[in-house]
Structure 1
Amino acid sequence: MAQFDTMRSAAGVSSAQIDAGLRAHMNKVYGTMSAGLFITFLAAWALSNLAVTSDPANATAMIAEGKYLTSFGNAIYLSPLKWVIMLAPLAFIFGFGAAANRMPAAGVQLLFYAFAAVMGLSLSSIFLVYTGQSIIQVFLITAISFAGLSLVGYTTKKDLSAMGAFLIMGLIGLIVASIVNMFLQSGAMAFAISVIGVLIFAGLTAYDTQKIKTTYLEMAHTGDQEWLGKAAIMGALSLYLDFINLFVMLLQLLGNRE
């Protein structure tokens, strides 16, 4: 975009310095996001393994051929505790921004990793519903798609801010529709939500990537490393949420159920 050249020349900072700083900033964003994804799937896998057994003598319910819920699994998936686990990430998100303003960058990073672990607990039921092979396949599809979409957001010269506003409005509508369908349990509506969700989070991946890049270019000349450190973590959080939601929507469309 045209304003990037102006940003690069601000405060006498050379283009080479800005470009090197931007690469380091984006590497931190993607590295933090990748670590968060690893924590999420490790937590989800660990919790699901504690909840499932192949021994019917120690089971409370059968969920698939040769797979049974343990008493622990019954408590977290079939009792009211399941709502706490499902809604915990949402509570984290609401408090994340306010907490990040008061904490140093290192504290914000730890908070992000704690959120990733809580998200893993919330997503653990996918290992009960879908086959392990389909989860891996959809994860790889998501990773390849995400990489391409993020590259588009990073390299495009087109300003995506107008598209971002439209996508955020669509996301609000998607959330409302998902809440409504929790009560309706409509298969057709669930399919439509998944398809629209894939499109929305695909667009948000490109938009958020460009926003992270633009934010860095606007603030790099200040030399405020603490602020830039927090910006990298918040950028990682945005892309992490795009990836997780894109993965879940694709899993609902392409995943093979147990």
Structure 2
Amino acid sequence: MANWSDPRQSAAPYRTAAGIQTEAYDAGLRSYMLSVYNYMTSGVLLTGIVAMLFARGGVDSPAANIIMSGGPLAWVIMLAPLGFVFAMSFGQARMKTSTLQLMFWGFAVFMGLSLSTVFLQYSGTSIAQAFFATAAAFAGLSLYGYTTKKDLSAMGTFLIMGVVGLIVAMLVNLFLQSSALDLVVSFIGVLLFAGLTAYDTQRTKSMYAQVAGTELEGRVVIMAALSLYLDFINMFLFLLRLFGSNRG
């Protein structure tokens, strides 16, 4: 009898090992994405709770007395979230994961303080409607970004440039006070951050292959959660500006 190996038999262990490896990768990816969404969701909830508490009491609330009245402390509260974002973005390579975690929670708290005036400006019904609409849109767009085979990187560059233009338009409208321009800015803002939700989800997913099992994974999880948090909050705020009713 000729001495040869049946290729079906020799290939079987390889296919089994490859299958196990794929399952392990998929399980790791699911755990990684779940961690990102847990951070992002917890940050949004923390921001909402802080905002509600700070605005509790209406015209007599800390939000009204500190932020609405202006002053140095109001500027500190409003600019602090931006400081956290810059510090985390430019310092992530030098920071420990635990430091980034603390900064993420600090960012969420100060965002809650700065957004507390939303509860003084808009009705509770408008806020709830905008929140649930944002949550539904975010879920659908994030699912699309996770499952699509289309490369969204080119779209991401366009969207980021669009955000820069949006910021310029908002600064210009501070002086013009045009209601028509404000409406256009809000509508474009919703579209831009909707697109960024899909883009950031795909980018978050693709990053896993580079950081899986390394010390970078924890830091990437937090920074990805920060990106998705910003997409959610900005989409919520622009929707509220478009459709929200002022508090009577």
Q: Partner of 1:41 in structure 2? A: 48
Q: Partner of 1:108 in structure 2? A: 100
Change over 3 Å in CA distance of 1:240–1:22 after alignment to 2? same
Q: How far apart, CA to CA, are the structure 1 residues paired with 2:62 and 2:28?
A: 51
> After superposition, where does 1:173-212 map in structure 2 within 5 Å?
173-212=165-204
Q: How far apart, CA to CA, are the structure 1 residues paired with 2:116 and 2:236?
A: 14
Q: Which runs of 5+ in 2 are unaligned?
A: 1-17
Q: Paired residue for 2:237, among 241, 245, 248? A: 248
CA deviation string 1:152-189 (max 9, x = no partner): 00000000000000000000000111111112111111
Q: How far apart, CA to CA, are the structure 1 residues paired with 2:193 and 2:150?
A: 18
Identical residues among aligned pairs (%): 53
Q: How far apart, CA to CA, are the structure 1 residues paired with 2:134 and 2:71?
A: 31
SS at match of 1:49: coil
Q: How many equivalent residue pairs?
A: 228
Q: TM-score, normalised by structure 1?
A: 0.84
Q: TM-score, normalised by structure 2?
A: 0.87
Q: How far apart, CA to CA, are the structure 1 residues paired with 2:106 and 2:208?
A: 25
Q: Paired residue for 1:77, among 68, 82, 87? A: 68
Tell me by how many angstroms 1:122 deviates: 0.9
Q: How far apart, CA to CA, are the structure 2 residues paired with 1:123 and 1:189?
A: 22
CA deviation string 1:14-61 (max 9, x = no partner): 1111111000000000000011001101111111115x2xxxxxxxxx
Tell me which amino acid in the other structure corresponds to 2:154: A
SS at match of 1:257: coil
Deviating more after overlay: 81-90 vs 167-176: 81-90
Q: Paired residue for 2:26, among 9, 12, 19? A: 19
Tell me which amino acid in the other structure corresponds to 1:48: A
Larger Rg belongs to: 2
Q: Which runs of 5+ in 1 are unaligned?
A: 1-11, 53-67
Q: Paired residue for 1:164, among 156, 166, 172? A: 156
Change over 3 Å in CA distance of 1:72–1:193 after alignment to 2? closer
SS at match of 1:163: helix
Tell me which amino acid in the other structure corresponds to 1:244: I
Q: Partner of 1:86 in structure 2? A: 78
